[in-house]
Amino acid sequence: MLPSWITNKLLKTYRTLDECYSKYSTPYISCSWGKDSSLVMYLVLADRPEMPVVFMDSGYNMSDTYKFRDWYLENIGIENYHEVPCPEDYIELNIKYGLPSIDRTQSDHEKVKRIIKKDVLDEYAKKQGWDCCIWGIRAEETRGRAILLRDKGLLYESNGIGKCSPIGWWKARDLWVAIDILGVPYNPLYDKELPPFFTRETNKNSGWLTTDKANKGRVMWLKRFYPDEYNKLANLFPEVQNYV
């Protein structure tokens, strides 16, 4: 049985989704195969299994992410599944702008964020005739997302397409309670913990080229749980060996 506080959060989530469905006729789900989008996808597809699901693939995700994707598609299935390549190659970006938290300046980091956050999915959606993106972003994740959701709300329009954030105000602990009780399948990378900075609640579904939080053990976490990915990273950028 769900705790009452999770039930209340789910009711608010469904109200946001209902508002989205009443305003937009052809929404789609943006899926990264992380915990947030996995929960959103579970809740939406339970009611609307025909809704399109889109994954933007950098080509450098963790092996667990690809294994989870393949397992999900084979064992659970998605009726209308799409994959879109990332607009830029992450290795080239790291060579040009440096590694985050290691030798990349803050100004260069902002440039990279602008590059990789091009409106590729928006443009792809428009070509497909879709009019709203349902995604799993949460205010707790970053200051920028908190400001965005506070200013725009959970349902708004940008770049000619709607944006719906049904779990925007959920905390990570709320998310895991719902995932565990509802039995939502999730990416096993979240169970690879290296406290205090890398736990089930704080692990990020980022690729192996990401060195953000290197000074807090990100590279050590990578080496311990994903040695093959670590070796590829160290061969490309030997300086990461200073962080293990």
Q: What is the CATH number of the domain that holds 175?
A: 3.40.50.620
220 lies in a domain?
Answer: no
Arithmetic mean of pLDDT, 36-64: 97
222 lies in a domain?
Answer: no
Alpha helices in 63-171 (DSSP H): 63-75, 90-97, 106-116, 120-128, 143-152
134: left (phi over 0), alpha (psi -120 to 50) or beta: beta
What is d(CA 98, CA 173) in angstroms, rounded to the nearest whole number? 33
Q: Is pLDDT at 45 greater than 80 in this prediction?
A: yes
Domain assignment of residue 32, given as a range: 4-190
236 lies in a domain?
Answer: no
Q: Is pLDDT at 118 greater than 70 in this prediction?
A: no
pLDDT of amino acid 163:
97
12 lies in a domain?
Answer: yes
199 lies in a domain?
Answer: no
Residue 75's pLDDT band (cuts 50, 70, 90)? very high
Residue 2's pLDDT band (cuts 50, 70, 90)? confident
Kindly provide the residue ranges of all beta strands, DSSP E only, lying in 154-229, ordered along the sequence: 155-158, 161-164
* pLDDT mean across residues, the chain: 94
Strands 155-158 and 132-134: unpaired
Contact present, 66 and 164 (Cβ < 8 Å)? no
What is d(CA 236, CA 230) in angstroms, rounded to the nearest whole number? 10
Arithmetic mean of pLDDT, 39-46: 98
Q: Is pLDDT at 42 greater than 70 in this prediction?
A: yes
Residue 86's pLDDT band (cuts 50, 70, 90)? confident
pLDDT (tens digit per residue) in 126-144: 999 999 999 999 999 989 8
224 lies in a domain?
Answer: no
3-state secondary structure of 204: coil
235 lies in a domain?
Answer: no
pLDDT of amino acid 119:
78
Arithmetic mean of pLDDT, 179-207: 95
Number of domain units in the chain = 1
Contact present, 51 and 80 (Cβ < 8 Å)? yes
Those residues with Cβ within 8 angstroms of residue 220's Cβ, 6 or more apart along the chain or in another chain: 194, 243, 244
Say what the pTM is.
0.93
What is d(CA 78, CA 80) in angstroms, rounded to the nearest whole number? 6
Arithmetic mean of pLDDT, 62-77: 98
19 lies in a domain?
Answer: yes
Q: Is pLDDT at 113 greater than 90 in this prediction?
A: no
